Amino acid sequence: MDKMYTLPIEIVEVSPRDGLQNEKIQIGTGDKVSLIERAIEAGIRRIEVTSFVNPRSVPQMADADDVCAALPVRDDVTYIGLVMNQRGADRALATGRIDQLGAVCVATDTFAMANQGQTSNGSVDVAKAIIRSAQAAGKSAQATIAASFGCPFEGEVAEDRIAGMAHELAQANPAEIALADTIGVGDPSHVTRLITKVKAAIGDTPIRVHFHNTRGTGLANVWAAIGAGAHTIDASIGGLGGCPFAPGAAGNVATEDVVYMLNRAGIETGADLDALIETNKWLTEIMGKELPALVAKSGGFPAPANPQNSIDKKEETA
């Protein structure tokens, strides 16, 4: 197998932010914090915990400060706060609990105007300023290029455009640059081409990928991304997710489905599949609806030893 498939892969859990932001029912702060605690219990070490945006635009994220105040104190976990502008960056840094800012720029002007009220180039400038303010505060920042594989308003996005944006962002020295398939239109061959092109444009800056499974290509895209040299994958427990400003956007690739695939392929993620499946069941209750993820419905393979069965057996033989 290609040597890319022998390296460990880092999962960034995005359910507390991308997973929940588009959900109609307001999830309580306590439940959001429980979700974060469960992700940590399951072995995830980097979590997008909230976003610092206008609560009128994204009411689900109105409790960003309260979520941060309740985060478990852990030296070994990196908490990411998503921000769209300097005001959001200042708010995130003021909590004292955010380790890494998540800056977002958008590949097309129409989507950039809908998402954050600026041009595409303007969003790159703002993202660079956000990265630098994180660094000035002794923190790090990641950068995401939304609509890297296609735009809900403008359609196809030129690969050279994404490579150019990534090159610009790399000048600010972010922890990594993510290619986001915000509306889930990418295919594995596109993923391989784009990552190869972006890698050539950004040198040593690591690449993260962010896939939505809108059209069922999510896991295939994850596999292609790893083969092309991405080592960090955004994923959301239960496969929740969506974007309020991108018509038709559906869930992120599901953490448990990604972890199952990678575990079976012998790729280390540090995540515990059984704990993720338990969290899926808990989250299903909280959301009051079936979640898009698949593995929790069927269980892992081989099936884990069921402690309840062995207790029953003991009682029978006793």
Give whichever of 105 and 275 is closer to Zn ion, judged by the CB atom.
Answer: 105
Residue among 68, 105, 151, 243 flagged as catalytic: 243
Q: Which residues fall within 8 angstroms of residue 62, CB to CB, at 6 or more apart?
A: 55
The SS3 assignment for 178 reads strand
Query: Distance between CA 216 and CA 220 in Å, rounded?
Result: 8
Give whichever of 108 and 275 is closer to Zn ion, judged by the CB atom.
Answer: 108
- Long-range CB pairs of 195-201, under 8 A, 24+ apart, other chains included: 195/225, 195/228, 195/229, 195/230, 196/228, 196/229, 197/159, 197/160, 197/162, 197/163, 198/162, 198/163, 198/166, 199/228, 199/229, 200/163, 201/163, 201/164, 201/166, 201/167, 201/170
Question: CB 1 → Zn ion: shortest distance, Å?
Answer: 29
Q: Is the dihedral of CA 254, 255, 257, 262 positive or negative?
A: positive
Give whichever of 223 and 245 is closer to Zn ion, judged by the CB atom.
Answer: 245
Question: How far is residue 258 CA from its own chain's centroid?
Answer: 12
The residues of the shown chain that bind Zn ion, judged by CB under 5 A, are 18
Which residue, judged by CB position, is nearest to Zn ion in the bound state?
Answer: 18
Question: CB 309 → Zn ion: shortest distance, Å?
Answer: 39
Give whichever of 174 and 239 is closer to Zn ion, judged by the CB atom.
Answer: 239
Question: CB 29 → Zn ion: shortest distance, Å?
Answer: 22
> What ranges make up the beta strands (E) of 107-255?
140-146, 177-181, 207-211, 232-235
Cis before 206? omega within 30: no
Give whichever of 18 and 257 is closer to Zn ion, judged by the CB atom.
Answer: 18
Give whichever of 67 and 145 is closer to Zn ion, judged by the CB atom.
Answer: 145
Instruction: Specify whether the CB–CB gap between 240 and 15 falls below 8 A.
Output: yes
Question: CB 178 → Zn ion: shortest distance, Å?
Answer: 10
Q: Which residues fall within 8 angstroms of residue 78, CB to CB, at 6 or more apart?
A: 45, 46, 47, 99, 100
Question: CB 241 → Zn ion: shortest distance, Å?
Answer: 6
CA nearest neighbour of 273 among 251, 254, 245: 254
Question: CB 243 → Zn ion: shortest distance, Å?
Answer: 6
105 a catalytic residue = no
- Catalytic positions are 243
